[in-house]
Amino acid sequence: MVDGSRAPRWRDIDILTVLVLYALGLLIFFSVQSLLLGSAPFDQIQKNTVRFLLEEFLDACLLAFLPIFFVVKVYGAELREIGLSSVQLLRQAVVGAASGLLLYGAVAIVEWITESAFGVRVSHPYLEILEGTNSFTTSLAIYFSIVVLAPLSEEIYFRGFVYSILKRNHGVPVAVILSATMFTVVHFSMASLLPVSIIGVGLAVLFERSGSLAAPIVAHAAFNALSVLT
């Protein structure tokens, strides 16, 4: 633990630094993989399920590990400062599950209005593959990626790291808006702009109110699970 008077400042630029390191890590991995194994079209996941899981696992590990590295090694801080704590874990999980259900309901209403008014249907490439496959292993791999890996890694980065830095430097309102904006940009498509923005704001507010990453992780997982199953 670094002495508080000399502790490194949590800098806004580190948000971008982590994102660049994450992108570089993926670029190196996919370049080496392509040289060794050849390319694998995204829509042929069912023929490369193990490879798909490896890619998704590495993606999640990079996005989760880099912020943790910065917090512990660069800032000399404890993980509880980005909400990684086991305090009241069961309560946080229950709150997260309920919040995920509320978010799903809100987004479903917005998507229904959007589709009714403009004929725009929100979709996700993974969901499209799920609808077109009869493979149990492919379905299981996609479920695991959507419901486990994505919520864990994205909440550690967007809420735990991005939100925490922005809150320290600019206050809660700016942190909610900017972290949600980043979340929306990363998941961007015109059709999903408003729904993803709602999710980003909702998860940021949930993190602020709960003080724990457990609640937004479970909420994110619950939202994704409901999106896959309904």
Domain boundaries, the chain: 4-229
Q: Is the pTM of this model over 0.75?
A: yes
Burial of 106 (0-12, 13-18, 19+ CB in 10 A): middle
Cβ neighbours for 33, distance < 8 A, ≥ 6 positions apart: 51, 55
The mean-pLDDT minimum among 4-18, 21-35, 194-208 falls in 4-18
DSSP state of 159: I
- Give the pLDDT confidence of 76-120 residue by residue, as tens digits: 999 999 999 988 999 999 999 999 999 999 999 998 988 888 777
Q: CA 159 to CA 167: how far, in whole Å? A: 10
The pLDDT value given to residue 219: 98
Q: CA 190 to CA 192: how far, in whole Å? A: 6
Residue, of 2 and 125, whose pLDDT is higher = 125
Percent of the chain scoring above 90 in pLDDT: 65
Please give the structure tokens belonging to residue 194.
Answer: 């408003």
With beta carbons less than 8 A apart as the criterion, state whether 222 and 100 touch: yes
pLDDT at residue 2 above 50? no
Q: CA 180 to CA 176: how far, in whole Å? A: 6
The mean-pLDDT minimum among 50-54, 100-104, 187-191, 213-217 falls in 187-191
pLDDT-derived band of residue 130, with 50, 70 and 90 as boundaries?
Answer: confident
Range 108-137 burial, b when 16+ CB lie within 10 A, else e: eeebeebeeeeeeebeeebeebbeeeeeee
The pLDDT value given to residue 79: 96
pLDDT at residue 193 above 90? no
Q: CA 160 to CA 64: how far, in whole Å? A: 10
